Each structure stands twice: as structure tokens, then as C-alpha cells.
Amino acid sequence: MSKKLQIIMMIKDENGETLVSQSSEREVPYIEEIDSQGFRSAFHDLETAVLESRKEASDGIVSEYLELASKKKTETHAAFGDRIEKKAYAVESELGKITTYTHKITGTEIDDYDSSKMFFEPVASREAFKSSRMLELMLDYCTDMSDRAATSRLNRLRHETRGIIATTYRNTVEREGRKIAEHIEKKSEEALEANGFNIVGELQENCEFMPEVSQSLPIEAIGAAMAERNIKKAYVSEYESPESAVNISVDDVGAKRQTEMRPRSEAEQPKRVNNSVIHVENNDGKYILNAPSVFGVLKLLLGFLLLGGLLKKQLVFFTDGAREIHNTISRLFAFANYKIILDWYHLTKKCREQLSLALNNSKIRNEFLKELTPCLWFGNVDGAIKLLRNINPNYVKNTEEIDKLIGYFERCRDYIPNYALRKELGLRNSSNLGEKSNDLIVSSRQKHNGMSWSDDGSHAFASVAAASCNKQLLNWVHSRSINFDFVPFDEAV
């Protein structure tokens, strides 16, 4: 015969007197039900009864307790004869969706007291207050699942049949993402202005900046690596000591853009939403920065390096061949001790693509690459250009593409190191950490079939994901602050 479950919750004052109480009852299975239904089915009924009863009691007591506090607070502002009205106030929390009541004094000559604005946290009309624990879950889930999947999980977790909807969830995440981005931008600009820069990242003329002298690897280590790779000539200053350098990977990624301006021709609208991402790394750990543009993210980087006392260190940028990235680095960091290294993968990819357009067929291209690639691997740009200029004309179908590749080598000459020697010395040759950061904060969430994004939405979700990778979501939810602290490698995503 079934038994009765009763859950009673009470909140008492300092004297032990009950302020509010709620109880909830459910029938639960016992011996006969377990025998007849089987243990699994009976336990399901027991578990459901406990969860439903606990939720009913907890929702009720929170609602009643908040209403009582609101009423008591409002009464302290009321005069004799004042009329007090109450209105619903919705709360979305980890406990669930709770409706309580706030109070407002009406009919007075002076400004009315309204506990929904002056005691509780103000919210927009028809909007629910989101608790900190609820925001933690919402921002955590948004980094790797769709809005519908996230809301489904949230409502299941909170035992809500009609809980938060996908549109509300998305709007909340976008708003938090925008606030995170604004906070980081303000933090960076304050650091710039406090250290003699203007808000666009330019060092003021009356400010002096003296970067630290580069620290290179020991000459003995470089000599041994040269002997191992049969390299005859190298400049010691080109091979930075990893302990004293700051490695910075810069990359761009685009997500499919929503069509926003109808009925204007879609041909006039950008097809993609761009996000620029930087991965910063030194001995202390890693950090990810993001912005809608290359200039924006590099300006954030300036502030980040200033606040961390790293701007005077040797800065090693790893990038693809994008002219915009190279030019912006050269402009913003002209005063610093920096160098750019062209990512090896992008260099060889560029060669394959251009030679496919220039040569008659893939067999000729592949044979030529066997000669060209070793020249580039050892940083011999002159040798690579000579090979291109001396290629058999019978193999070429488009000389303009050959000229374009030569122009690319000339433009990127200073960024093409001796990759072979760097690898032998254990130094990086790749910007893949920047691309991996893009995967983490943009591609894994935003680049799926059928997905399209507004500019604001894409950037906001990327900002939330970056804060998550930087272990700053809890800090943001509870203190509305983002710290520029490296994430130790053993804690990194």
C-alpha cells in the first residue's frame, strides 16, 4: 500500500519564529507497488514524487518570502492612508521559474515607492529577472550547443514544462556578450590612456618607450642545430628564447551572415560576419582575445600587454599572409620589439593554390613543389623566386599567377624565417593556436549547416565563449568584471 511523502520548508526569524512555510505532499510506492510494478518503475514514481514535491515547496516558499520582504519594505515608506498595490515579478533561476509579487505606493503627491525598482533589481517590462546561478548555466551552455538544445536542457534540469524559450535565451546571451565586449574594450582603453597612448592605440609623441633587449637562445644550441641540419649561415638574434618572448597568434574567421536589410538586394550585403581572434601565450599560460576587426583585436592586445607588463618583451606574431594583419601589426607595434612569422601551413597552401592556377596540370605542379618547398623551408626566398623565374615556359599556362606568387614572396620576405632551424631548436612555426582559438570561440558554435548570424549576435556569442576559455565567466556573473590573467596550461580548454 502506498505511503505519503510530505516535504515541509520553513524560513524563521532570528527568534525562531516562522516567517513563511510551505508544504507539499505526494503518494509514494511501498512494498506492494515494488512487488507489482518492479523496482525500476516503482523507483521512478518515488523519484518523480520527491522532485515534484520539493519543487512545489521550494518555488512556493521563495515566492512567499520575497513577497513578504517586498511588502515589509514598502510599508516602511508608506504614510497613513496610502494605498499599496502589488504586481507580479518573474524570476528565472536554477530553482525554476518563480512568480512573486512586488509592491508600489500609489496616490501620493511625491514620487511613489516601487519595490520592483527600488528594492528588487529593475527589469524591463515583461522580462524576468535572471539569477546569478541561472546566468552561469546560460552562459556556460551557449558555448557549445544551440539555443534550442540549451533551453531544453535548462528546462529539464529545473523541472520546468514551460520554462525559458529559445528567443529569450538568445537575447540574454547576446546582451551579456555585448556587455563583456564593452567592458574589455573599456579596460583596454583605460590601460592605453594611463600609459601614454591614445584610444586608437597610438603612442603619444611626448612619451618615450624603450623595449627590452631581445634574449636569444644560447649560441651553442643554435650552432648545434645548424650542424644537425647542415645550415651554413644564421643570425643568432632571429631565434628568440621562449622564456622571455610572448607568442601571439592572429587569425580571422567568418560565419554565415543573416540577411537583415530587405528588400534591398542581397548582392549588396556582406555574406559573412567576421571575427578576429588572438591567442596570447607565454610561460604563465594562455589567453584569448576577440573583436569584430583586426584593428579592434590588436588594440585590445595592446591594453592586455600593458596591464600584464609584457609590452616591452619580445613579441612574436604568427599569422597567415593577410596584408591587413601585417600592416596593422606594423602600424600599432612600430615602437615595440616585435617580429612576424608567416605560418608555414599557409605559406605552402598559398604556393599550391597559385601554382594550380599557373601551371598546366597537377603533376607538373607537384613536381615543381618538390623543388620549391625545400627553398622556403630553409628560408631561402631568393632561391624560391629564382626557381619561379626560371620555370620551363612550356609548363606555364598563366604567367600572371607566377608573377603574383613572386610578389607574395617579396611582400612577405621579412616574415619567412628558416623554418628548418626553428623546428630543430624547438621554436614555433605555426599560427595554429590562433586557428584553434577560432574553432573554440567561433567555428564550433557558429559554423554549422543552416546557421546564420547577425553581426551583433556573432560577436556577442564569441565574447562569451572567449570569457569561458579564459575562465572568467564566474567572475563576470558575480562581479561584472573580466581579469586579464593567463590561464595555466593545465587548466586550459
Question: What was the pLDDT predicted at 109?
Answer: 61
Instruction: Report the C-alpha gap between 329 and 318 in whole angstroms.
Output: 11
Question: What was the pLDDT predicted at 264?
Answer: 54
Question: What was the pLDDT predicted at 170?
Answer: 93
Per-residue pLDDT of the chain (493 residues; tens, 9 = 90+): 779 999 999 999 999 999 999 999 999 999 999 999 999 999 999 999 999 999 999 999 999 999 999 999 999 988 777 888 999 999 999 999 999 999 999 876 666 899 999 999 999 988 999 999 999 999 999 988 889 999 999 999 999 988 899 999 999 999 999 999 999 999 999 999 999 888 888 888 777 888 888 889 899 998 999 998 888 888 888 899 999 999 999 988 776 776 655 545 555 666 777 889 999 999 999 999 999 999 999 999 999 999 999 999 999 999 998 999 999 999 999 999 999 999 999 999 999 999 999 999 999 999 999 999 999 999 999 999 999 999 999 999 999 999 999 999 999 999 999 999 999 999 999 888 777 776 777 777 777 666 677 888 889 989 999 999 999 999 999 999 999 999 998 876 6
Question: What was the pLDDT predicted at 362?
Answer: 92
What sign does the CA torsion over 364, 367, 373, 378 have? Answer: negative
Question: What was the pLDDT predicted at 112?
Answer: 81
Question: What was the pLDDT predicted at 144?
Answer: 85
Residues 6+ apart with CB under 8 A from 107: 82, 83
Peptide bond into 218 cis (omega under 30): no
Question: What was the pLDDT predicted at 259?
Answer: 66
> Residue ranges of the domains in the chain?
3-130, 190-479
- Which residue type is seen at 269? Q
